[in-house]
């Protein structure tokens, strides 16, 4: 991205406030990286501490306490609570005090810009309105895309009206990828300022963990009673109905070469959630010994499972991005995803890093599995191309996009 030259004598450190619902495991390493920028003074304002204290994740259906540092390496504050339930929704968390914090405490300057994650909550809109009242530019980042769930004409009209108003309160958007860029262009227009800040993970962390996992590969294979000579199909996500692990299970069963004969690959399912019972029942009905249910595994454990996989599959419906795909690409594994997974236009090309299939099309998913697993060399080559590609989709691109946005809306730094 070309540098943006701003002729302004006020150049110096930018005091950047970031407003987000709660500490998020994917975002923590990015915030640490941004905090390293010498001319960006970042302060993160959280509405809730639920991910730090531990909570029951509705998607996984189990108590979750993340085993990666969520608060290390950057400045943060928890805003005073008005409402904080056990989950994240439109009205929870609800906080107060963001206006006074953006203005600056006694003896310290106010903030130069506000970056907000999402817009469809009371807290996010509170922050956006507070910044506007103080004349502070707003940068908006969200996962939205045009492939919305079905809505009636009244709801669509209200959404259009709301976003028309939101456009006047935001100075620029920070799209996470191609489909998100299209969303903002559709609602805000072609001329509205956008600065790509791609949805990325800590590539270095996952690559290092993947290298370390090799030493324990034999141990995990033995733990799961897997023959190392057979390929492994991996699903690792929440077992929610919309993730459609059921479609993957049906496609897997169709790989059987004959009545009552197991497919050559294993199917390893990592995760927990509302659909697990039905999946286990269907697997039991099939009577195959080649399917493994491993339950919820924390983020630091996942590279062990990536390491034993030949191909990773995410058959989701309405998946705005799918950061698990970024993670597994860092392990150098082939990826199969549905065309309703938001990262697809940016990360996976059919036949290159893996395969794409129409969501809910089990026949097409079965064919994709056959193509990727046609030979061991096919999956290996796709995995290597996946690793090469993800290197160009990293936190460094995030920092460049954010710096360019700050240079334009504040005039205080050079992108």
Looking at the DSSP assignment, which residues form a beta bridge with residue 363? none
Question: Which two three-digit tokens encode residue 16?
Answer: 């950047």
Q: What DSSP designation does 317 have?
A: S
Confidence of residue 8 (pLDDT cuts 50, 70, 90): very low
What does the pLDDT read at residue 55? 53
Mean pLDDT (whole number) for 38-57: 87
- For CATH 3.40.50.2000, list the domain ranges present in the chain: 14-200+394-410, 203-390
Question: Is the pLDDT assigned to residue 150 strictly greater than 90?
Answer: no
Considering the chain, what percentage of its residues have pLDDT values greater than 90? 86
What does the pLDDT read at residue 302? 96
Inter-residue contact 183 to 141 (CB < 8 Å): no
Inter-residue contact 55 to 329 (CB < 8 Å): no
Question: Is the pLDDT assigned to residue 342 strictly greater than 60?
Answer: yes
Distance, CA of 270 to CA of 267 (rounded, Å) = 10
Question: Is the pLDDT assigned to residue 34 strictly greater than 90?
Answer: yes
What does the pLDDT read at residue 53? 82
Confidence of residue 153 (pLDDT cuts 50, 70, 90): confident
Mean pLDDT (whole number) for 348-352: 98
Confidence of residue 5 (pLDDT cuts 50, 70, 90): very low
Instruction: Select from 314, 312, 356 the least CA-distant residue to 334.
Output: 312
Question: Which two three-digit tokens encode residue 37?
Answer: 């920028």
pLDDT per position as a tens digit, 369-413: 999 999 999 999 999 999 999 999 999 999 999 999 999 999 998
Question: Is the pLDDT assigned to residue 67 strictly greater than 90?
Answer: no
Question: Is the pLDDT assigned to residue 415 strictly greater than 90?
Answer: no
User: In the sheet where 354-357 sits, what is the strand order?
Assistant: 291-295, 266-270, 232-236, 311-314, 334-338, 354-357
Architecture of the 14-200+394-410 domain: 3-Layer(aba) Sandwich (3.40)
pLDDT per position as a tens digit, 310-322: 999 999 999 999 9
Question: Is the pLDDT assigned to residue 231 strictly greater than 50?
Answer: yes
Question: Which two three-digit tokens encode residue 391?
Answer: 């290197």
Residue 90's Cβ-count burial label (10 Å; 0-12, 13-18, 19+) is: exposed
Residue 244's Cβ-count burial label (10 Å; 0-12, 13-18, 19+) is: buried
What does the pLDDT read at residue 3? 38
Distance, CA of 322 to CA of 296 (rounded, Å) = 17
pLDDT per position as a tens digit, 239-273: 999 999 999 999 999 999 999 899 999 999 999 99
Inter-residue contact 44 to 20 (CB < 8 Å): yes
pLDDT per position as a tens digit, 279-321: 999 999 999 999 999 999 988 899 999 999 999 999 999 999 9
Question: Is the pLDDT assigned to residue 331 strictly greater than 50?
Answer: yes
Confidence of residue 65 (pLDDT cuts 50, 70, 90): low
CATH topology of domain 203-390: Rossmann fold (3.40.50)
The model carries a pTM of: 0.92
Distance, CA of 127 to CA of 401 (rounded, Å) = 22
pLDDT per position as a tens digit, 79-130: 999 999 878 899 999 999 999 999 998 888 999 999 999 999 999 999 999 9
Confidence of residue 64 (pLDDT cuts 50, 70, 90): low
Distance, CA of 300 to CA of 59 (rounded, Å) = 19
Instruction: Name the pairing type of β-strands 138-141 and 291-295.
Output: unpaired
Confidence of residue 152 (pLDDT cuts 50, 70, 90): confident
What does the pLDDT read at residue 183? 97
Question: Is the pLDDT assigned to residue 7 strictly greater than 60?
Answer: no
Interacting residues of 226 by C-beta distance below 8 A, sequence separation 6+: 232, 266, 268, 292, 308
Question: Is the pLDDT assigned to residue 338 strictly greater than 50?
Answer: yes
What does the pLDDT read at residue 66? 63
Residue with tokens 């962390």: 205
Interacting residues of 342 by C-beta distance below 8 A, sequence separation 6+: 143, 145, 177, 179, 180, 319, 320, 321, 322
Q: Decide which of 6 and 328 is more confident.
A: 328
């Amino acid at each position: 991205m070309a540098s943006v030259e701003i002729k302004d004598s006020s150049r110096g450190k930018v005091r950047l406030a970031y407003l987000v619902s709660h500490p998020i495991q994917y975002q923590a390493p990015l915030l640490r990286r941004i905090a390293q920028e010498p001319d960006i003074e970042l302060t993160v304002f959280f509405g809730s501490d639920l991910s730090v204290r531990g909570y029951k994740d509705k998607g996984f259906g189990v108590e979750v306490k993340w085993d990666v540092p969520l608060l290390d390496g950057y400045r943060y504050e928890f805003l005073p609570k008005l409402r904080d339930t056990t989950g994240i929704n439109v009205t929870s968390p609800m906080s107060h005090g963001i206006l006074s914090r953006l203005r600056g405490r006694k003896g310290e300057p106010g903030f130069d810009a506000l970056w907000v994650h999402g817009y469809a909550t009371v807290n996010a809109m509170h922050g956006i309105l507070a910044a506007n009242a103080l004349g502070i530019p707003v940068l908006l980042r969200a996962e939205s895309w045009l492939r919305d769930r079905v809505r009636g004409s009244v709801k669509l009209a209200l959404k259009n009206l709301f976003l028309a108003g939101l456009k006047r309160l935001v100075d620029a958007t920070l799209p996470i990828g191609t489909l998100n860029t299209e969303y903002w262009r559709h609602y805000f227009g072609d001329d509205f300022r956008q600065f790509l800040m791609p949805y990325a993970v800590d590539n270095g962390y996952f690559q290092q963990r993947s290298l370390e996992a090799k030493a324990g590969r034999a141990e995990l294979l033995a733990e799961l009673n897997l023959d190392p000579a057979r390929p492994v199909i991996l699903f690792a996500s929440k077992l929610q109905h919309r993730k459609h692990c059921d479609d993957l299970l049906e496609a897997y069963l169709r790989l059987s070469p004959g009545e009552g004969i197991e497919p050559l690959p294993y199917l390893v399912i990592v995760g927990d959630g509302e659909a697990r019972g039905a999946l286990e029942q269907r697997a039991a009905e099939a009577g195959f010994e080649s399917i493994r249910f491993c339950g919820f595994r924390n983020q630091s454990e996942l590279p062990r499972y990536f390491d034993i996989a030949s191909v990773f599959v995410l058959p989701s419906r309405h998946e705005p991005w799918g950061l698990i795909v970024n993670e597994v690409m860092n392990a150098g594994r082939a990826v199969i995803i549905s065309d309703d997974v938001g990262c697809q236009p940016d990360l996976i090309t059919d036949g290159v890093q893996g395969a794409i299939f129409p969501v809910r099309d089990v026949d097409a998913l079965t064919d994709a599995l056959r193509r990727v697993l046609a030979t061991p060399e096919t999956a290996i080559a796709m995995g290597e191309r996946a690793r090469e590609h993800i290197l160009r989709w990293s936190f460094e691109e995030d920092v460049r996009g954010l710096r360019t946005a700050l240079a334009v809306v504040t005039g205080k730094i050079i992108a």
